Amino acid sequence: MSEGTPPVPDPAVDALGVGDEVEVDAGPIAHGGFVVARHEGRVLFVRHAIPGERVRARVTEGGAGDRFLRADAVAVLDASPERVEPPCPYAGPGLCGGCDFQHVRVPEQRRLKAAVVQEQLRRLAGLDREVTVEPVPGDEDGLRWRTRTEFAVDASGRAGMRRHRSHDILPVDDCLIASEHVIGTGVLQGDWSGEKAVDVVAPSVGSPVVVRVPSGADAAPVVTERVAARALSRDVDVSARGFWQVHPGAAATFVDAVLDGLQPRAGERCLDLYAGVGVFASALALAVGEGGQVVAVESDPVAVAQARLNLGSTPWVHYVQGRVDHVFGVESTGRVAGPRRDRRRAAPRRPHSDLPPSADVVVLDPPRTGAGKAVVDAVVALRPRALAYVACDPAALARDTAYLMGRGYALGSLRAFDAFPMTHHVECVAIFEPGSP
C-alpha cells in the first residue's frame, strides 16, 4: 500500500450496529457528556464512562458507513478512582437522559467540564487557556438544585422523564436534581391524563406553581424571584414559563461575575443584549446611575412587558423589543436582512432608531446557538471598552471568541460555573477588551 493511501475498512468492524457490544478504552471527554473511544478504527461516543476506564460499550445509534457510533458503557472492566455509584436509580444506560455525570465524583465533574471548555477554545478559537469550573452555592453536593423542571406525561397520565435521545417517557418517583419544593408539589404522583407535559416552578419567593404545557408564557402565572448579589439586591417578576436560571444561586453569581468583570462607571452608556426580564440591566443601571444610560434588547414580548414593570423606578433604562440581529439591522447569518422569497438583493435593514451610536460596556447573553458573526460585528462597531459574554454553550463561546479576536478584541478574564451539576452543561462569563492580553 502506498504512503497516504487510506486503509481498507474491515467489513466485520464496519458492520457494527445497534445492540452490538465491544470492549473499548475510554478516551478524552467531549462536549455533550460522553467520552471518545475507538474500536478498530471506528469512533464511538460513549456515555456513562470516565476517561481512562476500560468498558464494555453497547452501540445505541449508528451503523455501517456512519462516521461515528453512539454507545452506552454497560459494564466497567477497569474503573476510574473518580467513579461513584449514581445516587439516582434512573441514571444509567437506557434510562433518564437528564443527567450525564451521576457516576462521577462532583469535583471530577467540574474538571471534566473545564477540559471541555479548554478544548473548545483551543479547537475553535486557537486559544490556550486554563479553566477552573467554580461551584455555585445552593445545591446539595450536586443535587436538589433545579427550581424549574418540565416533566413529560406518558399515555397513562403519569409524569416522568424522557430517555436519552428518545421520545420515550420513563416514569419516575423522584428526580434528585429537582429541588425538594418541586418534588413536594406531588407532581410525580398526580394524574395528568390528556396533558403532554407539566412544568413545576419553585420560585425563591412564594409557593411553587404547577403549569400545564403547552400553556404559553403569556398564559402562565407570574412568579417572583429574588436576586441577592453584591451588585444587585431586588425582587424580579418573571413568567413561570419564561426564562430564568434554574439553579438557585445562578442569577446572583452571574450578576456579580459580569459586574466585577465590566466595572461599569457612573455616567456610562451600557447595552444589554438578550436581556430577558432585566436582571443585568438592573445591575448596570445601579452602577451607572441617573447620569448613565442602559439600552436593553429582548425579543420576547412577555419578558419585555415584565422588564418594564421591574425597571419602572429606573427611567434611564430603555427596553427595545426585537431580535438582536434585527435591531442591529443584520441577519444572524451575517447576510443582509430581507424576505427569503425575494431572490433579489434586499435593501439593507436599518438599525433600530433607539440603538445607541456607541456603548462603553456591553453584556451579551445569547441563546445556546451563540451571538454569531453578524451580531459580533455590530457590537464591535459600537467600540465598547469592555464586553461581557455569558455563555451556556462552550462551542458557541469559542466560535464567538474567534470572531471577537479577529476584530481586535481579546479574552481577558474567563470564569466557568457549575450551574448544572450532574449534567454536562456549564456556564461561562468571559470578559473581552480591545487589545487586552
Contact (CB, 8 A) for 71 and 46: yes
DSSP string, 375-400: HHHHHHTT--SEEEEEES-HHHHHHH
Range 182-191, long-range pairs (CB < 8 A, 24+ positions): 182/146, 182/147, 182/148, 182/149, 182/208, 184/208, 185/210, 187/151, 187/159, 188/151, 188/158, 188/159, 188/160, 190/159, 191/157, 191/158
Contact (CB, 8 A) for 125 and 108: no
b/e string for 3-35 if b means 16 or more Cβ within 10 A?
eeeeeeeeeeeeebeeeeebebbbbebbbebbb
**What pLDDT score does 213 carry?**
85
**What pLDDT score does 351 carry?**
77
- Greatest C-alpha distance within the chain: 76
Cell of 139: 445545591
**What pLDDT score does 135 carry?**
98
Alpha-carbon distance of 436 to 363, in angstroms, equals 17
Distance of alpha carbon 299 from the chain centroid? 18
**What pLDDT score does 331 carry?**
76
CA 20 vs CA 15, 38, 296, 373: distances in Å: 10, 14, 53, 42
Among residues 71, 34, 72, 32, which one has the least CA distance to residue 51? Answer: 34
DSSP string, 73-131: EEEEEE--TTB---SSTT-STTSBSS-S-TTB-HHHHHHHHHHHHHHHHHHHH------
**What pLDDT score does 344 carry?**
39
Is 392 catalytic? The answer is: yes
Which residues have CB under 8 Å from 271's CB, separation 6+? 294, 295, 296, 297, 356, 359, 361, 362, 363, 379, 382, 384
**What pLDDT score does 2 carry?**
45
pLDDT tens for each residue of 33-61: 999 999 998 999 999 999 999 999 999 99
**Catalytic residue among 99, 270, 392, 428, which?**
392
**What pLDDT score does 217 carry?**
53
- The one-digit pLDDT tens for each residue of the chain (437 residues) are 444 554 455 555 567 999 999 999 999 999 999 999 999 989 999 999 999 999 999 999 998 889 999 999 999 999 999 999 999 999 999 999 999 999 999 999 999 999 999 999 999 999 999 999 999 999 999 999 999 999 999 999 999 999 999 999 999 999 999 999 999 999 999 999 999 999 999 999 999 999 998 755 567 899 999 999 999 999 999 999 999 999 999 999 999 999 999 999 999 999 999 999 999 999 999 999 999 999 999 999 999 999 999 998 999 999 999 999 999 999 764 333 333 333 334 445 677 878 889 999 999 999 999 999 999 999 999 999 999 999 999 999 999 999 999 999 999 999 999 999 999 999 999 999 998 54
Alpha-carbon distance of 108 to 105, in angstroms, equals 5
